[in-house]
A and B are shown apart, each in its own frame.
Chain A
Amino acid sequence: MVEVRFDGVTKRYDDGTEAVKGLDLEILDGEFLVLLGPSGCGKSTTLRMLAGLEDVTEGSIFIDGARINDLPPGARGLGMVFQSYALYPHMTIRDNLSFGLRMQKREERLPADEIEARVDEAATMLGLTDELVKKPKELSGGQRQRVALGRALVRRPRVLLMDEPLSNLDAELRHQMRGEIRRLHDELGTTTVYVTHDQIEAMTLADRVAVIDAGVLQQHAAPLDTYNEPANDFIRGFICRHIDEMVETANSLFTQRDAE
């Protein structure tokens, strides 16, 4: 059971601005939760507080009922995928993947052959077997994204965090990786928190979507429920109208084609 719970979590910066305001949020075991919202709404800050990269000003974050506010990032048992991949440029792909396992405390560290086995397993799963000896700069954007994913997964994290992982990819690859991420989640069943500002990404990937605006949680429901029963005007504009307009655009394209 891996449950994540935000309990009245507030993030206030030194200059007094509040990025996240009293957030209450529950993420179920094995759930794929998408944090969705416009730029600067506090969704990334929420994720970074969970990761331990930002301090929590008020409130508590629990994983499996244990308060993790004061644990260092490495001790929380998380894996994170960054938008810019953030691969270590001076290490080979194999070293990039195994770095997290090798950095464990001596008593908790896996034996070397076990680490090798885990890396090989992750590489096979992500189709990176031929790239293991290369350096990150020799890889394409899609491959780098896979390595970043593999690096997060190889430690068997309790929660997998993804911060706009597809934003740097072109449309074709983004589509392809989106499918792959969902497939991996279905295979592994890792509790996942995924941050994006892309409505389509959110609607197609998520079990449940948490929509955030101006640091406040607007609605927390399954994608279709959000669309069918928007909780307020913001959701109506940000999700419902956006999707309707996309459908209209697509329809008018088909109408044109049929007319010709």
Chain B
Amino acid sequence: MSTAPTAAATAPHADLVLGWYRPVEVDGMVSLLGVALIVNLLLLPIEMVRGADGTLLHGLEVAGLVWLWTAARALARGLTGTTAPIVAAGLCFVPAVMSLRHAAGTTGIAATGSGLTVWALWSAAWVVVPAGLAFITFSSRAVVAWSAGTLVTAGAEAGLARNSRLRPRIEQAASHAGLMHAAALVLIPVVWILDVAISPGNGLGGSIGDAFTGEHFARVLGGDSFWIWLRNSVAVSLGTTLLGLALAVPAGYAFSRFRFRGRDAAMFSFLLVQMFPGVIILVPYFLVMKSLGLLNTWLGLILAYSVTALPLCVWMLKGFFDTVPRELEEAALLDGCNQAQVFRRVILPLSLPAVAVTALFSFLVAWNEFLLALTFNTSNDMYTLPVGLASMISATGQAWGDFAAASLLVSLPVAALFIVFQRFLIQGLSAGGVKG
């Protein structure tokens, strides 16, 4: 080929390769050290506020990490010789190991296996692992050869090939570590509640998993109250879902497809209701319900919850209907459908995911609501689950164990619904997947 040289081709291949190549460890190290730095910087003020013993040591670790991070960045820019980063890593490694000892020593690794140990180990690991990895990485052959600046083109090419081999694995490991942290963050409160529910006595203290008893579950499930509350909650939630859907589906469709006088005003008036904090309308609500004779009834709660859930349901459904191409409806019209048939035969089957999401949302609003249920209902016979749960923690007795057991039971249906509706949820929330 005897074409004219392009801009990229003016630099010789060897220079390009040598200029581009940087061992994958270096990039990974800079990122990991950066994250470690942020985590430890966040932990430092927390320890200071708690007045923890190890605050000074922790400060030293953070300083070491800053140093190490700077060294790694300098290395990544190719500014340092072979030895400096290794020295930096080593210097950081010392306080890191000390902090691990410290974590083990103050809380007692072997003694009880208490929750605090896990926590301390974790926070120490956020120094030890990056520092240790930095030490190993900086002294690895690939990095040393590269930072010494003696690489020839062939070596750099081999390095690039090695990089693209290693990078997916490193990225996978990093994303796993990140996701495990996210999962732990979500699970910790659940584990804690579970521990309270299976620990004997009705206290909140104690270590995770040190004893087991089924007494709390037995007491909750054995009594009448829980079943009464459950019946009320199920009735009210299902009622809200059905009423909400029956109103929101046609309303959303009308808002999406038809232009009529007052359309915009009506849509924004839905939002207007959402602007007031629930407490403001609590008293008027109560008076209205009282004069209608709807206090201590399922219907009263169903109506109130539908009002709360409806605006968002209508807007969500309108948003979904907007994504269904108008030509589908026109095709159905030409195929001989009337407007009602267009909706029932074409639009509704396509919108099932969105309808499922809306249904779930209405159900959750009703299932979790506390304030209105507390205000409208005065007798134990009409309590919903949240109100019933709250009544277990009163001035006279604080049955935390029973409370924890009951709240786990209350969460079960919600978790089950999410598992069942998972597929729909993803489809419904990522609307627009209905291209003809």
Answer yes or no: A78 CB below 8 A from chain B CBs: yes
Given contact pairs A74-B337, A99-B335, A82 touches B349 in the complex (Cβ within 8 A): no
- Give the shortest distance, in Å, between A194 (CB) and chain B (any CB): 16
Select one of B327, B336, B434, B436 contacting A74, CB under 8 A. Answer: B336
Q: How far is the CA of A88 from the CA of B436 in the complex (A)?
A: 7
Q: Which residues of the other chain, B, contact A86 by a CB distance below 8 angstroms?
A: 325, 327-328, 330-331, 436
> Closest chain B residue to A83 by CB distance?
B327
Answer yes or no: A72 CB below 8 A from chain B CBs: yes
Q: Which residues of the other chain, B, contact A105 by a CB distance below 8 angstroms?
A: 336
Please, what's the 1-or-0 string for A64-85, where 1 marks a CB less than 8 Å from any CB in chain B? 0000000011110011101111
* Beta-carbon contacts under 8 Å, B343-365 to A: 345-346, 349-350
Answer yes or no: B83 CB below 8 A from chain A CBs: no
| A89 engages B334 (CB within 8 Å) | no
Best-buried of A80, A86, A99, A100 by chain B (most CB within 10 Å): A86
Given contact pairs A90-B349, A103-B341, A85 touches B436 in the complex (Cβ within 8 A): yes
| B346 engages A88 (CB within 8 Å) | yes
Select one of B345, B349, B436 contacting A136, CB under 8 A. Answer: B436
Count of A-B residue pairs with CB < 8 Å: 70
- Chain B interfacial residues counted at CB < 8 A: 20
Answer yes or no: A51 CB below 8 A from chain B CBs: yes
Please, what's the 1-or-0 string for A107-123, where 1 marks a CB less than 8 Å from any CB in chain B? 00000000000000000
Given contact pairs A53-B330, A89-B350, A103-B341, A84 touches B436 in the complex (Cβ within 8 A): yes
Q: How far is the CA of A74 from the CA of B435 in the complex (A)?
A: 24
Q: Which residues of the other chain, B, contact A155 by a CB distance below 8 angstroms?
A: 335
Q: Does more than half of chain B's interface fall in helix, strand or loop, or is it mixed? A: helix
| B328 engages A72 (CB within 8 Å) | no
Answer yes or no: B333 CB below 8 A from chain A CBs: yes
Best-buried of A80, A144, A151 by chain B (most CB within 10 Å): A80
Q: Does more than half of chain A's interface fall in helix, strand or loop, or is it mixed? A: loop
Q: Which residues of the other chain, B, contact A100 by a CB distance below 8 angstroms?
A: 334-336
Answer yes or no: B398 CB below 8 A from chain A CBs: no
- Give the shortest distance, in Å, between B258 (CB) and chain A (any CB): 14
Answer yes or no: A252 CB below 8 A from chain B CBs: no
Q: Which residues of the other chain, B, contact A72 by a CB distance below 8 angstroms?
A: 333, 338
- Give the shortest distance, in Å, between A53 (CB) and chain B (any CB): 5
* Beta-carbon contacts under 8 Å, B403-436 to A: 434-436
Q: How far is the CA of A78 from the CA of B349 in the complex (A)?
A: 25
Q: How far is the CA of A21 from the CA of B183 in the complex (A)?
A: 65
Q: Which residues of the other chain, A, contact B327 by a CB distance below 8 angstroms?
A: 82-84, 86
Answer yes or no: A167 CB below 8 A from chain B CBs: no
| B325 engages A79 (CB within 8 Å) | no
Answer yes or no: A87 CB below 8 A from chain B CBs: yes
Q: Which residues of the other chain, B, contact A75 by a CB distance below 8 angstroms?
A: 336
> Closest chain A residue to B327 by CB distance?
A86
Q: Which residues of the other chain, B, contact A78 by a CB distance below 8 angstroms?
A: 334
Q: How far is the CA of A79 from the CA of B330 in the complex (A)?
A: 11
- Give the shortest distance, in Å, between B424 (CB) and chain A (any CB): 14
Select one of B328, B336, B435 contacting A103, CB under 8 A. Answer: B336
| A52 engages B336 (CB within 8 Å) | no
Please, what's the 1-or-0 string for B264-284, where 1 marks a CB less than 8 Å from any CB in chain A? 000000000000000000000
Answer yes or no: A39 CB below 8 A from chain B CBs: no
Q: How far is the CA of A74 from the CA of B332 in the complex (A)?
A: 8
Q: Which residues of the other chain, B, contact A144 by a CB distance below 8 angstroms?
A: 436
Show 13 A/B contacts (Cβ-Cβ < 8 Å), sorted by A. A52-B333, A53-B333, A72-B333, A72-B338, A74-B337, A80-B331, A82-B331, A84-B325, A86-B328, A89-B350, A100-B336, A144-B436, A151-B335
Q: Known contacts A51-B330, A89-B434, A100-B335; can you find 17 more A-B pairs with CB under 8 A?
A: A52-B334, A73-B333, A74-B337, A74-B338, A75-B336, A80-B330, A80-B331, A82-B330, A83-B327, A84-B325, A86-B328, A86-B331, A88-B332, A89-B435, A90-B349, A99-B345, A104-B336
7 smallest beta-carbon distances between A and B, as pairs: A74-B336, A100-B335, A86-B327, A103-B336, A86-B331, A73-B333, A90-B349
